[in-house]
Structure formats: C-alpha cells, structure tokens
Amino acid sequence: RLPASVASAPAKAAGSSSSGSPGTTGSVYVPDNGIVVLSKQRLSKLADDAFGSSSAPRVKQLKLDQNNLTTLPSAVMETLINLSLLDLSGNKTFSNLPSSLSSCTALTSLNISRTAFKAIPDVVFSLAPSLKILELSGLGLESLPDDVTKLSLLTRINLGYNRFKQIPVQTYTLTNMEEILIDNNNVSELDAEALLKLKSLKVLDINCNDLTDLPPRLGLHEGLRVLEIEGNGIKSLKRSTIESGCHEILRCLRDRIPQ
C-alpha cells in the first residue's frame, strides 16, 4: 500500500506500491470520501489490481488527468460500480475506453478533453442512463454523431478548442442542457430559434469564435444567465455592453427585434 503520509490525505491518493513497476500504480488507497486523485503522476498504466474487491465499490471519483495513460484495464472498470466522475483529461496518448466502462452505471461526469480521441468513443453512448456532464475540449472535432441525442440527461457539454463552425444541431435536442461551452472554435452564426427551445440553458460560452453579430431574438431567452462573447468580431454591440454581461447584452438584443 501507499505510505501512511499519503494514505491519510483526505482527498488524494497517489503513487504506487513497492511491487508496482515504474509508471504503474500498485494498490491504490481509497480515502473515506471516495475521491481518488492520481493526477500528474506520470502514470502510463493503471494496474489490473489497483483496487481491491472491498475498496473498488467505495470509489466515487477517479481523477487520472495529466498522465501518460493510453487505456484503462477492463478488470478495473468492471469493479467501479459506484463511480460518478472519471477525469482522463490531458492524457495526450489516451485513445481507448474499454467496453467495460458501461459497467459504471452511476457515472454522471466524463472528461476526455485533450486526449488522442478524434471522435466520441461508442461506449460513451452506453452511459446514457446516467451521464450528465461530458467534457470534449481540445479533440479537433468538427461535428458530433447523431448518437449524441441518446445522452438525454446531459446538462453540460464542453466543446471548447475544437473546429466547429456552428453549435452542433444534436445539442438542440438535449432539453436538459444547462451549459454549452463552445469557446475557441470557428462558429460564425447562432441559431436563435433552436437556442430558445433549450429552456433550461443558463450558460452559453462562445468566446473567441468568428461571430460578427448576434441574432436579436436571442434576447428573448428567459433562462440565460451567463453569455460569454469576448474575442469575436461583433460590431453591433458596444464594448461597454459586452463587458456588462448577459443581462445587458440580452436587453440590447431585444431592443433590436423588428416591431
């Protein structure tokens, strides 16, 4: 097991046992809160026996971001039955999610940002009964597959730092959506009517895109609380309006709706 000084940490577990090979975890300590943090450990592999039969069901969050992983052992994923959050972001060579991920029926948050995926792995769609947060930043995506519509419980999707030219139409069917982050893409126009149908939408981040204007009818969205539009070429709104935030931006847009 890990040294007592690490094992006693309230929300962090890191490193490998003496039996683990370099870059591979040994037996991982699971703290009482169930949050296992193995970030920035230069890990290239998660051991098949990283979690024992008694400790695996206690894992609620597994943070493996910024390592050198390429996949996860199927044997491990099959045992994480109460896992609610999995963070794999920043594993730049990570390219394989095992089909056993579907065993994680409690998973609500998945982060595969800045990995080697060029598309959403098919196994992600098997998480539809539970998944609410999907982070897909920095994958070079230009479109989303129609299967995204199966993820009906999604409340947040992060599409930042990709190559989208518009908000993917599939997101407009996700009526529970509260946050759409699509900053640093190539979005040149917004579909106001489609966005108005997302009545739960509270946050829309379209910073650093190719927008030159906003549709006036977007101002009719009653639920929007955060509207980020910095770094675009929008000339129809004063700088002071943009800096004032969502409420003022929406008011100005409403004033431009033809009577």
Q: ∠ CA(23), CA(3), CA(37), 5° rounding?
A: 55
* Model confidence, pTM: 0.91
Count of other CB atoms within 10 angstroms of residue 54? 8
State the DSSP code for 45. B
From residue 171, give the alpha-carbon distance in Å to each of 89, 152, 177, 193: 22, 10, 8, 13
Reported as a single tens digit per residue, the pLDDT across 205-257 is 999 999 999 999 999 999 999 999 999 999 999 999 999 999 999 999 999 99
pLDDT in tens, 91-147: 999 999 999 999 999 999 999 999 999 999 999 999 999 999 999 999 999 999 999
Residue 201 contacts residue 180 (beta carbons within 8 Å): yes
